[in-house]
Structure 1
Amino acid sequence: MSIEIVIGIDIGGSLTKIGAVTRDGKILYKKIIRTESHLPFSNFKKRLKKEVDLLRSKLEPNTKVLHLGVGAPNANPLTGNMENPPNLKWGKSIPLVKAFEAIFKLPVTIANDANAAALGEMTFGIGKGMKNFVVLTLGTGLGSGIIVNGKLLIGEHGVAGELGHVNVDPNGRYCNCGSIGCLETYASVTGIKRTVFELLANMNIESVMRTYSFDDLNGENISDAALEGDKIALKAFEKTGEILGRKMADTVAHLDPEAFILSGGLSKAGAILLDPIKSSMENNLFNAYKGRINVLLSKATRSDAVLGPAALAWLAIDGK
């Protein structure tokens, strides 16, 4: 009897995750590679083909690969293209479906990476059984996927749910998308790094953060320092949580979700980030919503990001 699987690919601003996934969400094989988006897309395609070929060679001989699901920044399921991705340098429109179908000889379904993550949480993760929730992916940027009445919200043009690009401050930080003051310039790994360096410039206190260059600093460094009581790191999480919680309260007014599910590198800080988010959100909620909206941390690991694109593939197979 053959084993049926799909291949899930999650393309991030820094890392790309690849995995072979069964219908019940078991990951048979997974690999993480650097995206290297500063190099041409043709370079990425060659490296990805090599890794997928290796994946397929490691599967049991009776394994049947049915479909390929791809989550990527600004991936539009209506056009099959990745359109104007702010944290990738491959151009304005990258034909993902056409390119990957040609390379892998498989049917390909794509979605915005955070939309795929939302489907993964609904199908295999902490969102299972929920009908209305929002996933926020806190990585290099900030992505979001919205589930309404058990269905992914796509919108008229295929790009609904770009909460990372709602405005926090019209006179604020410049964003890679070309706008000023976007939420992801504050609430993301890149955003909290910028906050740390602003705090270092404005506060004359000792901090291990002063030993890092901007390029060497990452979410894990900041989380570790905060756990050890570093005042700059703790203040950075406090400010990040306050801003994100305030904008989440705005989102509640639009959608009335059961929960927000936080995933991605920055979410691994746990309560250090979660506590200021919850406090800020509750303080800014309309009275009808107070005490009714859950804020949860995804249980998925970094490599489990392939479950979102895999869920996308299985739903495509089932015609959903």
Structure 2
Amino acid sequence: MEILGIDVGGTTIKAALVSDTGEIRQASKVTIPTIDERDAVINTIVDLVAQFPTAEKVGVSFPGVIQGKGYLRTAGALRSMFKIDLYAELTQLITKPLAILNDANAATLAEQAVGDAKDVDNYILFALGTGVGGGLVINGQLYAGKHGMAGEFGFQSMNPYHETNEMDYSLSFEGSLVFGLIRNYELATGRNVNRDAKQVFEAAEAGDAVAASVVERFYLSLAHGILNAVMMIDPELILIAGGVTNRSTFLEELLTTLDIVMSDLLRYQDIELPPIKLAKMKADAGIVGAAQYAKTTL
């Protein structure tokens, strides 16, 4: 069986046929004509489906909080798509069986299909990017929660007792790349690094004390976010996804920080962490995960 996986991003939509073994073929990528036109997004998805007539089912990965079969409570950077029933819109135009899910959940399922989470019943994926998202599988099944918000790890409060409420001290604003690492460095220095986290890491390695402090804050926040999730869910495995995982020393630095936190805080000293690994699927995670979701739910 071939299933069409579609991955909707902020500016592009990617699609490909996915085999039962997770192999991708006949990939296509389209730039969204304008992110402010909901019809452009919907019509682009419909056009992509028409390009793959042999697909038996269609899975769509979409940013934001998705409720039910495909109601977009939020939609990431696609502001014009907020509060739209995407499933209802698309099923008027597409006759093939259709399934829609959140992009981080798609990445989570991709790891179950062809990554390190194969044959793992309980695991968490943290997706690090503009903010912090994620997904969780419990007893072998993707768990989205009552309102589709399960796995939104970035909403964790990192400092609820701060003296002012002017800043959002959530994990997304502390342990992510754009809203966390980059924003905190730019606020501290007044320097624009053009959303390039590599510049911050390199400045820290070159002896920039401000950059070093920001990098330390990033790892500490992420470590606490992971520990919070571990204590709530008790997973067998934790996976980390996102562009920062391309940094060769990222996992070593994160594990070192986790060791420090667990050694410093008495409550963690008898806790055994599950294995923490980098997600195997990269740019194709949304496509493969969307196809896997369609395969298992339709």
Which residue pairs with 1:134 in the alignment? 124
Q: CA deviation at 1:8?
A: 1.2
Residue identity (%): 24
Candidates 55, 58, 72, aligned match of 1:68: 58
Residues in 2 aligned to 1:75 and 1:103: alpha-carbon distance in whole angstroms: 23
TM normalised by structure 2 equals: 0.84
Residues in 2 aligned to 1:22 and 1:295: alpha-carbon distance in whole angstroms: 28
Which residue pairs with 2:189 in the alignment? 200
Change (3 A) 1:43 1:26: same
Candidates 77, 85, 99, aligned match of 2:75: 85
1:167-190 Cα shifts (integer Å, max 9, x gaps): 123458978xxxx32211222232
Q: CA deviation at 1:134?
A: 0.4
Counterpart secondary structure, 2:61:
strand
Change (3 A) 1:289 1:220: same
Does residue 249 in structure 1 map to residue 237 in structure 2? no
Which residue pairs with 1:60 in the alignment? none
Which residue pairs with 2:175 in the alignment? 187
Contact 2:58–2:96 under 8 Å retained in 1? yes
Candidates 156, 162, 165, aligned match of 2:146: 156
Q: RMSD of the TM alignment (CA)?
A: 2.9
Residues in 2 aligned to 1:264 and 1:17: alpha-carbon distance in whole angstroms: 17
Give the letter for the 1:303 counterpart: D
Residues in 1 aligned to 2:23 and 2:7: alpha-carbon distance in whole angstroms: 16
Candidates 283, 288, 291, aligned match of 1:302: 283
Does residue 41 in structure 1 map to residue 41 in structure 2? no
Residues in 2 aligned to 1:49 and 1:96: alpha-carbon distance in whole angstroms: 12
Residues in 2 aligned to 1:48 and 1:160: alpha-carbon distance in whole angstroms: 26
Residues in 2 aligned to 1:189 and 1:86: alpha-carbon distance in whole angstroms: 16
Q: CA deviation at 1:74?
A: 3.1
Does residue 279 in structure 1 map to residue 256 in structure 2? yes
Counterpart secondary structure, 2:36:
coil
Contact 1:246–1:280 under 8 Å retained in 2? no
Residues in 2 aligned to 1:53 and 1:147: alpha-carbon distance in whole angstroms: 32
Candidates 117, 137, 148, aligned match of 1:147: 137
Change (3 A) 1:258 1:120: same
Which residue pairs with 1:22 in the alignment? 19
Q: CA deviation at 1:48?
A: 3.3
Contact 2:65–2:74 under 8 Å retained in 1? no
Change (3 A) 1:186 1:239: same
Counterpart secondary structure, 1:251:
helix
Contact 1:264–1:302 under 8 Å retained in 2? no
Change (3 A) 1:184 1:88: farther
TM normalised by structure 1 equals: 0.79
Q: CA deviation at 1:153?
A: 1.5
Map 1:261-280 onto structure 2 (within 5 A). 261-271=239-249, 273-280=250-257
Residues in 1 aligned to 2:69 and 2:141: alpha-carbon distance in whole angstroms: 20
Contact 1:13–1:37 under 8 Å retained in 2? no
Aligned positions, number: 289
Runs of 5+ unmatched residues, structure 1: 57-62, 202-209
Residues in 2 aligned to 1:287 and 1:36: alpha-carbon distance in whole angstroms: 53
Q: CA deviation at 1:149?
A: 1.9
Residues in 2 aligned to 1:48 and 1:140: alpha-carbon distance in whole angstroms: 24
Which residue pairs with 1:289 in the alignment? 271
Residues in 1 aligned to 2:117 and 2:133: alpha-carbon distance in whole angstroms: 17
Change (3 A) 1:53 1:312: same
Contact 1:109–1:316 under 8 Å retained in 2? yes
Contact 2:66–2:74 under 8 Å retained in 1? no
Counterpart secondary structure, 2:55:
strand
Residues in 2 aligned to 1:168 and 1:251: alpha-carbon distance in whole angstroms: 13
